[in-house]
Amino acid sequence: MTAPVKPEEHGSMSTATPTRAPEQDAHGGQQPGDGRVGGGLFDPKQLLTSLPDALRKLDPRVMIKAPVMFVVEVGSVLTTIFACASPTDWFGWAIAVWLWLTVIFANLAEAVAEGRGKAQADTLRKAKTDTVARRLNGTDEEQVPGTELRVGDLVVCEAGDVIPGDGDVVEGVASVDESAITGESAPVIRESGGDRCAVTGGTKVLSDRIVIKITTKPGETFIDRMINLVEGAARQKTPNEIALNILLASLTIIFLLAVVTLQPFAIYAGAEQPMIVLLALLVCLIPTTIGALLSAIGIAGMDRLVQRNVLAMSGRAVEAAGDVSTLLLDKTGTITYGNRRAAEFVPVHDATEEELADAAQLSSLADETPEGRSVVELAKEKYALREGEFNVDTLTGAEWIPFTAQTRMSGVDVDGRKIRKGATGSVLAWVQERGGNVTDDARELADTISQAGGTPLLVALEDERGPRVLGVIHLKDVVKDGMRERFVELRKMGIKTVMITGDNPLTAKAIADEAGVDDFLAEATPEDKMALIKREQAGGKLVAMTGDGTNDAPALAQADVGVAMNTGTSAAKEAGNMVDLDSNPTKLIEIVEIGKQLLITRGALTTFSIANDVAKYFAIIPAMFAVAYPGLDTLNIMRLHSSQTAILSAIIFNALIIVALVPLALKGVQYRPVSADKMLRRNLAVYGLGGLIAPFIGIKIIDLLISLIPGIG
């Protein structure tokens, strides 16, 4: 019915199709792509390769950015000085060594997270090549280094050329290899006009000739930005991360004051404490576990997006995704498959299904649109019509009537028959103009299909019996498998889903009901999208949406999480704060889940860190004051070997737990779509209770092992 389109062609976000088809997991979500920017999960070998970076981070100018660990480093220095003053004191040296290890382990967690990004950046650098550009100077061409290109320059690229910089195609159409960016070997079509005009520097033209208008300066290309992002060079602390750092710093100051004022009381009680013991107490009191892992958690959150071929322009965007309250999802390509498909043939009362199917198929043989091909396929599958090699080339003597925006119908004249297929009004007018009668049931069938959310295409035939309507082809948007279940999960998270579509309200409502979304916006314009986002934000909600066209850019910029498709225009990619290299609109749902996983991981490990400090009190406080206050011995519920082994065991556990939690910080706490109340109860039960119990067990085991060492036990 509609005019044929080129591969991957679309006019707006609503018909976007992904450039690759990632595997789906059991819950309908994508598995990490095998793209070149993807990274694997935690590898123990990374601990060794990241050790030099961890040692370099011992620089106080670096450490001061993490107040908790800076205090531990200062304590390590002071402990080392006191140990040097008593070189034969094994306890002082043991405490000093383990305090230094605590700092190194903390740096190691961050270095491992950054190391994965650097490995991905090295791969991207290999894809970045210095090219010679064919710059247009009027009608002439001149060869210049790609580094000399400026915004607005026009360059020519033909088959075999590497595109020298980011830009938009302003002339021609070509097949482009983007495997250096997405890891997908299948080429994509880039052409002037529309929303698939953007090209990326470093990709390769495989066919034809295009003229590109450069839109970025040298050193600011998409690959350059990707390298900076995955390396962490552009990563800034998010508001929640800053707030948590302030809380940790405040707790550190409070415990520092508590330890400083503890010594006068100890002297008064006749139990003066060595400075090494006080420093050990301070390190065990302050929340070192979360202080050590906080930065790694943030970096790993961005890395999990990279594994799925999504680039977040800032950690703020990832965090905002976890707090999203409203999700704007385009209907076509996101909730439904990219194209309407013929679902059934509905004849009028004086025609048969076989007669209608035969005419519909004949009129669609030259229609190369997905809708037209689906009509041919339905007739073959349901009625076994024209199976095998029969096609437009084998139908001799046929005169094909192409679709135009004026006539709004297409068809064929063959064997003395005239067949037309198209919009209801156009086909009815054609029949009436030729003297035919239009029965009421033709209009009723079309109205019924429209009210059900489908698209009716009328089919008419003129033969020896005269012109008449045979019936209606029911074109239907097919909702993707598993979408209703995913919307149920989002609802459990407290997220409202809104379907955006250009369809009329009747069609939009039918699809929304079938898919299970909470609300819909029909006949949406760019202004409507902006107004909807602003209304939601005015109510204190965070909004996420996807887009790929220039007309989507304002809404992407307004949304708290704007995910631009890599196949889209430069304007869309500049406006969004995330770019999906796979150009898969359903990725937005995964992005929200990753954002929530980041927040849950940070909260869970903070709970664990604060909870496990409680057990350390039971190890150290009785050991310090049991001599002066024998009653405190009742708090020594672990029955540790001696005061020195108790303190040393707590310090060792404090260091080792950081290394033990590195894989969890990098991989993230498992996320389940449940309400906030259930999630809080679960985390308190698992990480709060676990944080209380684990140190009792760990410290006791370490104490038993230390007591077996000759000269100590």
Q: Which residues are annotated as a binding site for ATP?
A: 367, 371, 403-410, 421
Would you list the DSSP string of 59-94? Answer: SHHHHTTSHHHHHHHHHHHHHHHHHHHSTT-HHHHH
Given a contact cutoff of 8 angstroms between Cβ atoms, the answer to whether 422 and 407 are in contact is yes
Residue ranges at the known binding site: 367, 371, 403-410, 421, 548, 552
**Collapsing DSSP states into helix, strand and coil, what is residue 218?**
coil
CB atoms within 10 A of CB 633: 14
Chain Cα centroid distance, residue 352? 50
Tell me the two tokens of residue 614.
């409680």
Comparing C-alpha atoms, which of 445, 440, 406, 441 is closest to residue 426?
406
CB atoms within 10 A of CB 355: 16
At residue 229's C-alpha, the angle toward residues 16 and 536, to 5°, is 55
Catalytic residue, chosen from 330, 477, 503, 613, is 330
Which residues of 397-553 form beta strands (DSSP E)? 399-401, 409-414, 417-422, 455-463, 466-476, 496-500, 519-521, 543-547
Q: For residue 586, which amino acid is it? A: T
CB atoms within 10 A of CB 387: 10
206 CB-contact burial (10 Å; exposed 0-12 / middle 13-18 / buried 19+): middle
Given a contact cutoff of 8 angstroms between Cβ atoms, the answer to whether 238 and 294 are in contact is no
Q: Is 539 left (phi over 0), alpha (psi -120 to 50) or beta?
A: alpha
617 CB-contact burial (10 Å; exposed 0-12 / middle 13-18 / buried 19+): middle
Active site residue 447: no
Residue ranges at the known binding site for Mg(2+): 548, 552
Rg (CA), the chain: 33
Q: What does the alpha-carbon distance between residue 58 and residue 515 come to, in Å, rounded to a whole number?
A: 54
Strands 188-191 and 209-214: unpaired
Tell me the two tokens of residue 416.
């003395």
Secondary structure element (H or E) that encloses residue 173, with its range: strand 167-177
Residue 646 backbone dihedrals phi, psi, to 5 degrees: -65, -50
Q: For residue 571, which amino acid is it? A: A
Q: What does the alpha-carbon distance between residue 712 and residue 649 come to, in Å, rounded to a whole number?
A: 13
Q: What does the alpha-carbon distance between residue 606 and residue 287 come to, in Å, rounded to a whole number?
A: 8
Contacts of 123 (CB under 8 A, 6+ apart): 36, 37
SS3 assignment for 611-641: HHHHHHHHHHHHHHHCCCCHHHHHHCCCCCC
User: Mind telling me the catalytic residues?
Assistant: 330
